[in-house]
Amino acid sequence: MGRPKRSASGEIVPKEHAIRDRFLSTALRAGRIVGARLVYKSGNYRLLVTLSWKQGEFTVTGYDNYEVREWRTSDQALKRLYESYGFTGTAVFEREDETPLP
């Protein structure tokens, strides 16, 4: 898989709302992912997950930082979610519309 590249947005997530990629892709994680949202924003996809061992929803960040982990295509993000993180449920897809309403 290799090391993830820096995200295009460069957006940093507060520590209390982030879960690092490395904590989800190892067999040593404390529990499992119980819910997932795939959000399309600014031309990229990001994952937000709900965990069995922590309350709340967390944005997946880089392997060793708190920068939002982004994918260029939905299939790349879903492959990571299902194959690397071991998620077995249904992911919800959302589009974060940044266009102001008239």
pLDDT tens, residue by residue, 43-98: 999 999 999 999 999 999 998 899 999 999 999 999 999 999 999 999 999 998 76
Q: Where are the domains of the chain?
A: 15-94
Please give the pLDDT value at position 1.
44
Distances, alpha carbon 62 to alpha carbons 6, 59, 89, 101, in Å: 8, 10, 23, 33
Please tell me the predicted confidence (pLDDT) of residue 29. 77
Q: Kindly report the pTM of this predicted structure.
A: 0.83
Which H helix or E strand runs over 71? Answer: strand 70-71
At 12-40, the pLDDT tens digits run 989 999 999 999 987 777 889 999 999 99
C-beta of residue 28 within 8 angstroms of C-beta of residue 20:
no
Q: What is the pLDDT of residue 6?
A: 55
